[in-house]
Amino acid sequence: MRGQISDNRRLQKLALRELDVARVALAARAVALYKHDDVTILDAVFGADDFGDLVSRLTMVQYVARGDRDVLRTVERTRRELADRAVSLVADERTTKKLVAQRDAELQSIKAQLGDRQALLVGVRQEIRDLAARQTPATPTPGETVQPPSDDGGGGGQGQWWPLIQQAAGANGVSARGMYRLMMIESGGYASIVGPGGYYGLFQYHPTTWKGSWNPYRSASITDGAAQIRATALALKMGYGHAWWDPSYSWAFSGG
């Protein structure tokens, strides 16, 4: 489009030069006619010496008149072409301005979208770092017991689950002692137990709850003790303790 505008401007300048040349030629012809005074038919008739001279003079007048008409036609044609090119040039410039404005708007939109994507990427990276930090197993504190709590009320003495509870609780930042107490209250440490109302396993899950999308271990059996321990540690981290296990939860975690 810019090349077309440039061509139109060049042709417009050329037409202006042609028009100026034609005007100069007409002016020169007018001066010549005025000075020589030899182009009228009457002058040809009265100035002829004989019939042959009359024919020659009339032919010359016709030739000169035809040349002037050609110059006039050329001037008029050039004038029309110049006007057309001016109109085309204005239209092309308007179109170019509109296209430039559209491209500027598109560029601003692309920059805005790029900024949004960059901000989103920064947020995603931060979330990944946070998740990675949360998934890092917690380092046991000095003096932490490696034996199951002694205050389980003698309900079966299921210390076999204690190492796995410590590992899951540490990975999710919850109290291992509280998880152990909650398990002993709910099931006494028996993974295959079925409680009233159709609740199963160490932490007494209903099948509907166990199969929920929150639980990444839902494909395991509901009576799989290790799966229930890992799922429960995650559920406690997610804040479901009071909603799913109270009043057992409040009592189990009251001692830390």
For the ranges 17-21, 42-46, 48-52, the lowest mean pLDDT is seen at: 42-46
173-221 pLDDT, tens per residue? 999 999 999 999 999 999 999 998 999 999 999 999 999 999 999 999 9
141, part of any domain:
no
- How large is the average pLDDT for residues 21-29? 66
146, part of any domain:
no
141-163 pLDDT, tens per residue? 333 444 566 544 434 446 889 99
Domain boundary among 101, 134, 167: 134
Same-domain status, 124 and 177: no
93-124 pLDDT, tens per residue? 888 888 888 888 888 888 888 777 777 666 66
Q: What 3-state DSSP class applies to 199?
A: strand
43, part of any domain:
yes
Same-domain status, 18 and 93: yes
Same-domain status, 88 and 198: no
15, part of any domain:
yes
Residue at 117: amino acid letter: R
Same-domain status, 129 and 222: no
Domain boundary among 119, 134, 149: 134
At 146 the pLDDT is: 44
Q: Which of 256, 135, 254, 252 is nearest to 204 (CA)?
A: 252
Decide if 178 contacts 241 (C-beta within 8 A).
Answer: no
Q: Find the domain containing 84 and state its range.
A: 2-134
Q: What is the DSSP pairing of strand 199-200 with strand 194-195?
A: antiparallel
150, part of any domain:
no
225, part of any domain:
yes
pLDDT tops 70 at residue 129: no
Q: What 3-state DSSP class applies to 205?
A: strand
Same-domain status, 196 and 88: no
The structural domain count of the chain equals: 2
65, part of any domain:
yes
145, part of any domain:
no
Same-domain status, 111 and 182: no
CATH of the domain at 245: 1.10.530.10
Burial class (CB in 10 A: 0-12, 13-18, 19+), 224: middle
Task: DSSP letter for 159, please.
Answer: G
Characterize 164-200 residue by residue with b for buried, 16 or more Cβ atoms within 10 angstroms of its Cβ, and e for exposed: bbbbbbbbbebbbbbbbbbbbbbbbbbbebeeeeebb
Same-domain status, 41 and 8: yes
Which residues, at least 6 apart from 155, have a Cβ–Cβ distance to it below 8 Å? 184, 188, 189
At 102 the pLDDT is: 85
